[in-house]
Amino acid sequence: MPVSARVAWTYLASLAAFVVAGVAVVISNASLSIALCANAAVDSVGDCKLGWAIWIALFAFLIGLIPVALLLKLDWWLIVTMWSFAGLWLATDALDQWWWWTSAVLTPAAAALLSADWDRGPEFRSWQRGGLILLAAAAVSALVWWYVGG
């Protein structure tokens, strides 16, 4: 697949995964968050529901990305790269910053380019996959550091 088509299909897969995430948030807001926020104070129920909506949207996006990307003939390396970037963006804990949203919009293109097969031979592909594995390890490390650091 040409790299330009890969970028376009990745954005389409991301858009479809966002639709899945939106549906999951609507369903969970009407059902699951009522139970999860039952013990919240009256004035903080909205904050509780928003917090759960953010987490549910993120996980629904990541889970929804798998079948959509595979249906669009995108490979597992792209999915791993998207998951890694999502982990890194989550660990920055900067959802309210403009640069976070800019980087989130550019993530599908970056993931498509970083995981593309550039027809440069098996040695290049091995180094590329090693880099993607290091990116995934960095994302896991950042998430652990973020979670432990509070």
What is the tens place of the pLDDT at every residue in 86-143? 999 888 887 788 898 899 899 999 999 999 988 888 999 999 999 999 999 999 999 8
Whole-number Å distance between alpha carbons of 62 and 84: 10
Q: What percent of the chain has pLDDT over 70?
A: 99
Q: Are 148 and 92 in contact (CB under 8 A)?
A: no
Helices 3-30, 76-92: axis angle to 10 degrees equals 60
pLDDT at res. 150? 66
Whole-number Å distance between alpha carbons of 37 and 49: 7
The alpha carbon torsion through 12, 13, 18, 20 (nearest 10 deg) reads: 130
Q: Tell me what the mean pLDDT of segment 56-70 comes to.
A: 94
Confidence of residue 70 (pLDDT cuts 50, 70, 90): very high
- Identify the weakest region by mean pLDDT among 6-10, 30-34, 115-119, 131-135: 30-34
Q: What is the pTM of this model?
A: 0.84
Q: Show the DSSP H helices in 31-121 as ranges.
A: 32-36, 45-71, 76-92, 98-115
Question: Measuring CA to CA, which residue among 62, 59, 53 is closest to residue 83?
Answer: 62
The answer to whether residue 43 scores a pLDDT higher than 80 is no
Q: What is the extent of the structural domain holding 19?
A: 3-149
Domains in the chain: how many in total? Answer: 1
Structure tokens at 66: 């798998």
